[in-house]
A = this chain, B = another copy of it.
Amino acid sequence: MVTRAEAVTRQLREAILGGQYEPGARLSEMALADGMSVSRTPIRAALSVLFTEGLLDYEPNCGYVVRRITLDDAIHIYTVRATLEGLAARLAAEIGLAEAERTRFEAVLAEMERLVAGKAWKAEQMERWGELNIAFHGMICAAAGNGYLASSILRTRTLPVLTERGLKTFFAERAVVWWDRAAYRRSQDDHLDIGEAILARQGTRAETVMREHIERAGRLIHRKLAIGSEAALALP
């Protein structure tokens, strides 16, 4: 059986990443305990874990608040993420994909291409593309054969990134994208290049393109948020 502390941790993490709490919101132990029908003990354990994970801020005797991440922080995180995913791409290229992986990899790339190139481009297609995109990056991560790297990358994707004035929380996994189709096309071109490089065992090329691919996303987000438009996020 799973302990209540674990269940609460998962629930709270989902809630925070899902944007159910405003950035800066205080998380009172009693309130949470009442709301979740457990005692304060598992709540405290969960809060301490989420603090260590970087989702909450904490001050002794003052309690926990949902972490407020600035635009600069988001850029910093994207910079690190670009480098790490670049490393993953290089390793994947150097190690090479097994037969089954390769098949699936090519299938994912092909379906993304069909979507982007197709006539229909509605919410349904965008959502599907988002899923495939996550799968694409995930496969490269896995193919790199470095668990520590994988978990480091995961960390860069699960931090709640939020605007300064805008109160919306959003985070990379959700892949809600609100910009024009050309951006998808450009992103997909990168994917094709990266895929080609990996399959051709060209490590440096894969690394370079991947890094630029992610950094572009960071710049896009920065620009969109800086001019105060609605939150826009790529998971490119």
Contacts and interface: CB of A to CB of B under 8 A. Distances in A.
Nearest to A147: B76
* Residue from A1, A86, A91, A148 whose CB has the most chain B CB atoms within 10 Å: A148
A109 interface: no
A14 interface: no
A33 to B, nearest CB: 16
Contacts of A2: 60
A79 B45 contact: no
A76 B148 contact: yes
A80 B49 contact: no
A132 interface: no
A146 B52 contact: no
Contact of A3 (B60, B79, B80, B147): B60
Interface in A139-163: 146-149, 152
Interface in A71-107: 73, 76-77, 79-80, 83-84, 86-87, 91
A28 interface: no
Given A45-B48, A80-B84, A80-B146, 15 more contacts: A2-B60, A3-B60, A49-B52, A52-B52, A73-B148, A76-B147, A79-B91, A79-B146, A79-B148, A80-B87, A80-B148, A80-B149, A83-B84, A83-B86, A152-B152
22 contacts: A1-B60, A3-B60, A6-B60, A45-B48, A48-B49, A49-B49, A49-B52, A52-B53, A73-B148, A76-B148, A76-B149, A77-B148, A79-B87, A79-B148, A79-B149, A80-B146, A80-B148, A80-B149, A80-B152, A83-B83, A83-B84, A152-B152
